[in-house]
Amino acid sequence: MMAVSIGKRSTAATSLLISFLIFHTSNADIPAAVAESAEAPHRRFEYKYSFKGPYLTQSDGTIPFWVHTGNAIPSADQVRITTSLRSQRGSVWTKNTVNFANWEAEVTFRVSGRGRMGADGLAIWFTEGQGLEGPVYGAADSWNGVGIFFDSFDNDGKKNNPAIIVVGNNGKFMYDHPNDGTTQGLGSCLRDFRNKPYPVRAKITYYKMSLTVLINNGFTPDRDDFELCTKIDDMVIPQEGYFGISAATGGLADDHDVLSFLLFRLTEPGQQPAPPDVEIPKEEKDKYQAEFENFQQELDKKKEEFQKEHPGVQGEPVEEMYESVNDREIRQVFEGQNRIHLEIKQLHRQLAMILDEQRRYVTVVTDEIAKRGVHAQSGQVPNQDIDNIINKQEEVLRNLNELRSSFYESVRQIGSAQHQGNAAGTYEAVQHFNDIKEHLLPILEKVNCPELPPLPSCLSTIHFLVFVTIQSVLFIGYIVYRSQQEAAAKKFF
């Protein structure tokens, strides 16, 4: 919404700026935003006029110290001023006015869309009043202040968009939409800010009546990679005003997302800013003082009520409310004893299950031997193997009984140590527990059941051959029947 040239005054200012920058480049390294100053100004962050993710919004969806209108959608990480839908308008504005003369705003935003061209654009405002809604990029027309417009759509057909234009207004003029603000622009530059791999950053500095716009084009992740867009000298803006960001879409649409807005107060070198207490108005200061006194009175009242309800707590030192080092060590000792006690109980239950299984196994083997001794002929069952099985099972039972009694003894020792509160009892219990673990592995190896002599087969060879023959005949018959059915089915095709 602008032209490449902005009049004779802008051309002269541009040439003057180029020669000025060449002169300073050959003499000193000075930032472009404050090129006229021999020393950079002091910067102080103003959180009441800023926002940044994460946790950008409160629980009710509002932005602290800001107000949003129209189709703006705040979220935890960003503020979507407009979505990629047609005829959308949205804006965010500070709730309080800015009353310091020099400032610097850093805005991080992203403009993205599916098409090669987008619309309409995004604007950054500093105006005397909040332009909540209107036709100029979603904000009100005839504003009193300055607007930095990021124009996406080429209204005048001169193929000079996307572009950035600075337009000032004293509240008496209407914005020139058909000519893209060509007749009203104070400074401009051609920059493509749509669909960049990284967010685009704009640094807007107003210092000593000079407005400078620096742009980071979003091609690299370097946040300090700024280049000069335009600079306007001898620019007069309102002494107090509101900051705002607005955006709008038309027949074409883009997503206009603002990731952060950071405002800094600038102070000339040698002039320290006033302390915060001096800056607070007297009415607001008295209000905060009254709230603090009321809170202090309520706190003292609650303390008195607590002391009346708990008279025994009065006069006790604060240290007694917390755990000492000795108490913590004793607690850790008892916790270790409890864990050992639980582990031993668990092992005791497992050994009891193993013991029951071994007893059942011995009973089964004994019954089998008794049956074979009555019905089997002599020499069929090796008596030596049976004797070995019985001896091994008896030995396993004896070891398990000894281990079980050892566990009973460990549980008893740990219980006595817990009652005595002695750390030495814990050490003895741990040593005893380790001894039990050393003897447990060979016992578990002996628990494995030995192999029994092979039992006689209940299926003879003749029966097996007859079964296989019947199965083969049935399978061959099924194959013949299926082939006949398939041959009959093919006659119909």
Q: What is the pLDDT of residues 104-141, one digit of tens each?
A: 999 999 999 988 888 889 999 999 999 888 999 999 88
Segment 333-378, tens digit of pLDDT:
888 888 888 888 888 788 788 878 777 877 877 777 777 666 554 4
Neighbours of 8 (CB within 10 A): 8
Supply the pLDDT for residue 464: 74
Least confident span in 202-206, 234-238, 367-371:
367-371
Closest CA to 91 of 16, 45, 43, 143: 143
CB atoms under 10 Å from CB of 454, counted, come to 6
Q: Where are the alpha helices (DSSP H) in 140-214?
A: none
8 A C-beta contact, residue 130 and residue 98 = no
Query: Is it the case that residue 168 has pLDDT exceeding 70?
Result: yes
The Cα 199–Cα 177 span in angstroms is 27
- What's residue 1's pLDDT? 37
Question: In this predicted model, what pLDDT tens digit does every residue of 52-74 receive, in sequence order?
Answer: 988 899 988 899 999 999 999 99
What is the structure's pLDDT at 386?
A: 62
51-100+113-196+234-261: in CATH 3.60.15.10? no
Q: Is 224 exposed, middle or buried (0-12, 13-18, 19+ CB in 10 A)?
A: exposed
Note the pLDDT of residue 94: 95
Rounded Cα–Cα distance for residues 390 and 99 (Å): 101
* Dihedrals phi, psi of 37, to nearest 5 degrees: -95, 140
Rounded alpha-carbon distances, angstroms, from residue 115 to 121, 158, 239, 435: 14, 19, 41, 78
CA 355 centroid distance within chain: 54
The secondary structure of residue 313, as a DSSP letter, is G
Q: In the beta sheet, which residues pair with residue 188?
A: 165
Residues 6+ positions from 343 with CB-CB distance below 8 Å = 433
Whether the Cβ atoms of residue 195 and residue 112 lie closer than 8 Å to each other: yes
In whole angstroms, how far apart are CA 316 and each of 320, 321, 327?
7, 9, 18
Q: With beta carbons less than 8 A apart as the criterion, state whether 92 and 109 touch.
A: no
Which 3 state secondary structure label does DSSP give 166?
strand
Residue 306 structure tokens: 């607590």
In terms of DSSP bridges, do strands 200-207 and 66-70 run parallel, antiparallel, or are they unpaired? unpaired
Q: Specify the pLDDT at position 407.
A: 62
Residue partners of 224: CB distance under 8 A and separation at least 6: 216
The Cα 143–Cα 259 span in angstroms is 25
Distance CA 135, CA 127 (A): 16
Nearest by Cα to 65 from 52, 47, 81, 53: 47
Please report where in the chains the tokens 């008195």 appear, as a residue.
304
Alpha-carbon distance 35 to 17, whole Å?
A: 10
Least Cα distance to 96 among 343, 281, 345 occurs for 281
How far is 305 from 43, CA to CA, in rounded Å? 49
Helix residue spans in 421-460 (DSSP H): 423-447
Ordered by start, the domain boundaries in the chain are 51-100+113-196+234-261
Give 167's pLDDT tier (boundaries 50, 70, 90). Answer: very high
- Segment 26-35 shows an average pLDDT of 40
Nearest to 161 by CA among 1, 398, 388: 1
Tens-digit pLDDT profile for residues 267-291? 988 776 666 555 667 787 788 888 8
